[in-house]
Each structure stands twice: as structure tokens, then as C-alpha cells.
Amino acid sequence: MQFPTVQFALFFLLVLSISWLVRRKRTYQKIFLLAASYFFYGWWDWRFCILLLASSMIDYVAGEGIVRAEQNQRKKKIWLWVSIIGNLGLLGFFKYYNFFQENVAQLADLLALQAHLPVLEVILPVGISFYTFQSLAYTFDLYFGHGQKAESLLDFLLFISFFPQLILGPICRSKDLLPQLMREAPEQIPDLTRAVRLISSGLIKKVFLATFLATHLVNDAFVSPENYSSLELLTAMYAYSAMVYLDFSGYTDMARGTGLLLGFHLPKNFNAPYAATNIGEFWRRWHMSYSRWLRDYIYFPLGGSKGRPLRTYFNLGVTFLVGGLWHGAHWKFVIWGAIHAIALITYKASLDIRRALGWKFKKVHPWWYLLWGWLLTFHVCVGARIFFRSVDMETVGMFFSRLFEFSTYGRGLEVMLLLVTAFGIGLNFYGRYIKQAFDWSHDRIPGWSKPLVWAAIAWFILTLKPADVAPYIYSQF
């Protein structure tokens, strides 16, 4: 069940109404929300619910074991490894088995050997990477002593499956959501204006802007680049970067908005990432819950930035190679991760060299320095996404070949495509002013007429939305 659909609108209105009706009976409300979340997830395939429950139970049992072990480090470590092996085993089978089998077969072919791994048609469950990482974070945090333990199995199951953020995040930590689940329900919606604004912006980003870019250039250009000119492919690079931001941040807006309407705050996941002036800052602003996960559970345990510079660079490399593989079982994602790893290592090395030479770091840099940093950072991200979006490595090769042919033959560019691309990227710079204007306007609408305004916005979006709104890009991860 996708967010920008009539089915979801009807489902959510029913869930919202019943949830607030039973809010004074908190246990009943949580049972209802858990059932609604599993119904939402089972909409794609009811068997996915079995996997979700299995993943949740592994970490609930492991978490209980870690807490009961108290000061016994050996037992705590055993329970942590139960969680790691259980979750990564499920994730590895469903997401990486086919990739592993294909590469083993190719290697055996190269060595004139025979591989005997069976060929299986493994279906990738929607959102498995997101809820697996969230579930793993729970046991990691309990193990390191800074997590919030669930008071009951019900609380934990709902924490993992809460439907607004189940499919694409944000990846919640135990302290983000569990305390909200374990206390009494609020008497009213925490921030109605922000909820309406987030849902409206999420729908507009996905339904109109991201869909327009996808259907008017991006989808075809990254599948058949040989049909497009160099200028069109260059435009497609920028258009895809705008599209993936609109698509993913649009989902996060919807998740946070629907969460607020149900009485729960979900963490922010994007903070104007395309306004970043260095690659480190970009990763502090893009998919923030995911980048913090990589930092806290891979980079820091490896040693982080402690020790010698070469060790730090190694840690960065490993972290982002894992980050690339998290997106999918394909070499194109490994290369995408490697590009970001190299960019981060280069940036970190430049800082280390400046420190070694005794150069002082200015708190405020001149405009030309920031502009150069922004251009470099933005184009590293745009260029890396050629690997991220292309169907396979053969298409990547064709894309680059055609891009540097400087050919004029193609299908032509629409002015509206350029405007939407510029608008999507520009939101990173002036989006906050649009938010402030919306909040100011919404707060001044008389209370009795607000439902009419909301209905008008919903009618406008659902009536004018294209018939072929594609699934969210990150739902495949």
C-alpha cells in the first residue's frame, strides 16, 4: 500500500479515527495500531508479516537476554551475536542470496569449476533493510548501555512495525519512539499545522514533482542512454538527483506527518542536503537516520577517527562500502559506496594535511570557498548516482560513453523539466521560507474551516495526480 493512493487515504482515515477514539485505553490503542501496521505491511504480501515478526522476535529475545545478563559481559556478547547473526542471516538470504549465487557461478566458470549452489527465486520483502537496521539498533544500544528497553512485547512489536515509518524510515532508535509508546497518549495532535504541512509537501514532492521528472526524462534516459544526446544525459543526471531527493524526502515528510496525526514524533531525516559545502556535511544532512546508523554501529566500533590517519581512512572506506551494499546486491552499489568513501577520505585527508601544516581553520569561510565546496560536493553526489540509478554496469558504460560524445542527436528537452529540476534542487536553499509561509497561513485559517481546507488540498492532489505514480525509489531497498 503506497502513501499517495486512495486506498491509503481511506485506510489512514479509519486508523486515525479509531486510534483517537480508544486513546484513553492505551493498551487497546497499541494493539489496534499493531494490527493496522501488520495489515499495512501485509498489503503487498501476507508472507512478509511472518518475516517481520521473526525479525522482531529475534531482537526482543536478544534484548531481554542482554538486560538480564547485567554485568556478565560474556552472556551479553552471546545475545548480541544472536541478534546480529539472526538479522543479518535473514537480510543476507532475502537480499543477497541471488547476488552471491551469481558471482560464485561466474567465479567457478572462470576457474573451470562447477558451482552447486541452487538457483532460487527469492522475493525481496519491501523495506526489509530499514526495519532490520532499526531492530538491530535496539540490541546494539542495550548492549552499549544507552538504549531504552521496551516494557512489553507489545511495545517492541509496535516500535518495529509502526506503519508510517516501516517501509522507508526514518530508522528510529529506541529512545526516539519507545518512550512515546510507553507513556499515556496525548490529549490532542502534538503539532497539527506541521502535520498538515508535512503531508501536503510530501504528496506534492512525490505525486507531481518526482513523478514528472521520472516520466519525462529520468526513467528512459537511465535505461536507454543511447537514445539521448550528451546535453540530455547531463540534464538527466541533475534531474535524477532532484528526483531522488523529492521522492525520498517526500516519503519522510508523509511518514512524519501521519505519525504526528497519530500522536507520535518521528525524527527528521533530511536537512537541505544539497546545500552542503563538503561531503562530510552532506552525509550529516542526507538520510540522517541511516548515516547516523553507519557512524554509530560500523564507523565508531571500527575505531572511528581515533588513531593514525590511515586507520581512519580505512574505517571510512569499510563503512561506505557496507553502506553501498545496504542499498542492494549489485556491483553498481558497491562502486557508488566506493565513490563516496573516496570523497570522504579525500576530504578528511585535506583536513589532516591542513592541521599538520599548522593552518588555522576559519569559523566563517569566504563566499568563493563555500561556492567551490558546494560545486564539488554536489557534483560528486550527482556523478555517483549514474551508478546508483543505471540498470546495470553495461548501461553505466553506455551512459558515460554517450555523455562524452558531445552529440546533438536526441529527443529534445522540455522547459518545464528544467524548471522542475531547478525547483527540486532549489528547495534545499529556500524550502524553509515556503514552510514558514505555509505555517503562517495555516495558523490564520479559522478553526471551523480548516477541515474544508484540508479536504480541498486532498481533493486537488488526488484528482490531479498522474495515473502512473511509481513506487518510492527506496522501497526496493
Write out the catalytic residue numbers: 327
Query: Scanning the structure block, which residue is given the C-alpha cell 537541505?
Result: 272
Q: Closest Cα to residue 37, out of 158, 133, 134?
A: 158
Q: Closest Cα to residue 51, out of 146, 118, 151, 122?
A: 122
Q: Helices 153-161 and 128-144 sit at what angle, rounded to 10 degrees?
A: 140
Structural contact between residues 165 and 220, judged by C-beta atoms closer than 8 angstroms: no
Around Cβ 224, how many Cβ atoms within 10 Å?
14
Rounded Cα distance between 171 and 269, Å, is: 9
The per-residue DSSP string of 24-80 comes to TSHHHHHHHHHHHHHHHHHTT-THHHHHHHHHHHHHHHHHHHHHHHTT-HHHHHHHH
Structural contact between residues 83 and 69, judged by C-beta atoms closer than 8 angstroms: no
- Tell me the H-state helices in 308-449: 309-327, 331-356, 367-389, 393-403, 415-443
Around Cβ 6, how many Cβ atoms within 10 Å?
9
